[in-house]
């Protein structure tokens, strides 16, 4: 079954606990976008807010670090309650070491790739991670359009992962809507992240239910 991870980036930050409560019965994970104003142009959430969300929900947190030098903050985000802790390959010259560092905290390590970053970057660490995140927009903002060439990349990665046991999750993030979620799932995604399609909808819970029907 494909999992759905609402991204709180598109929630009302002034009422975060209520926003989380609206969809929590339907969410498999909450996706939390951490941005530093360096790796990406935007600045968002730190460990304190991750901890605040963690205290308000039992749903596991899927923390997406879009930051330079992620190794400096791994233990803080793990302690804040991250179940999955994902770093970007583009900012990790010692990716294998960084993955081990996440593993040592007890969180599940993930690696993210920007749309233009080759799958070869993660070839040698596929069996070290619990999740690979393929960005389907250039990271930094919610509400962007899905970049079509990423569908082929999802298919290619899904083919490689098929032979693995245990098999890491293949998460796709950016521009996923009710209209295209089925195609993304059919390409091989196992976790769909959606921000504006869920928190921008008049009824966020109903939006998750609709998305689930599409990918069932
Ligand atoms: C973008 C973030 C995404 C964002 C997705 O940089 O990584 O998680 O919340 O938002 P939508 O679903 O609106 O594209
Ligand atoms: Zn994200």
* 2-54 confidence digits (pLDDT tens): 999 999 999 999 999 999 999 999 999 999 999 999 999 999 999 999 999 99
From the CB of 6, is ligand 1 less than 6 Å away?
A: no
From the CB of 174, is ligand 1 less than 6 Å away?
A: yes
For the entire predicted model, the pTM comes to 0.98
Alpha carbon distance 89, 177 (integer Å): 26
62 is catalytic: no
Strand order in the sheet with 61-66: 3-6, 191-194, 169-173, 131-135, 108-113, 82-88, 61-66, 30-35
- Residue-wise pLDDT for 166-209, tens only, equals 999 999 999 999 999 999 999 999 999 999 999 999 999 999 99
From the CB of 57, is ligand 1 less than 6 Å away?
A: no
* 108 CA → ligand 2 middle, Å: 16
Distances (CA, A) of 181 to 15, 175, 194, 198: 27, 9, 9, 12
Of ligand 1's listed atoms, the one at least distance from the Cα of 7 is 9
Residue with tokens 């530093």: 36
127 is catalytic: no
């Amino acid at each position: 079954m494909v999992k759905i991870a609402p991204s709180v980036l598109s929630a009302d930050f002034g009422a975060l606990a209520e926003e989380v409560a609206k969809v929590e019965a339907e969410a498999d994970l909450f996706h939390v976008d951490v941005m530093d104003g360096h790796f990406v142009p935007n600045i968002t959430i730190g460990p304190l807010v991750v901890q605040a969300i963690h205290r308000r929900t039992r749903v596991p947190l899927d923390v997406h670090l879009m930051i330079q030098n992620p190794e400096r903050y791994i233990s803080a985000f793990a302690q804040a309650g991250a179940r999955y802790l994902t770093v970007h390959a583009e900012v990790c010259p010692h990716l294998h070491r960084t993955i081990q560092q996440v593993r040592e905290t007890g969180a599940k390590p993930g690696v993210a790739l920007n749309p233009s970053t080759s799958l070869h970057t993660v070839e040698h660490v596929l069996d070290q991670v619990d999740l690979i995140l393929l960005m389907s927009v250039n990271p930094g903002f919610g509400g962007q359009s899905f970049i079509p060439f990423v569908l082929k990349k999802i298919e290619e990665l899904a083919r490689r992962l098929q032979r693995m046991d245990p098999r890491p999750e293949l998460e796709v993030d950016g521009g996923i809507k009710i209209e295209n979620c089925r195609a993304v799932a059919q390409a091989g995604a196992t976790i769909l992240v959606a921000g504006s399609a869920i928190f921008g909808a008049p009824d966020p819970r109903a939006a998750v239910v609709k998305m689930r029907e599409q990918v069932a």
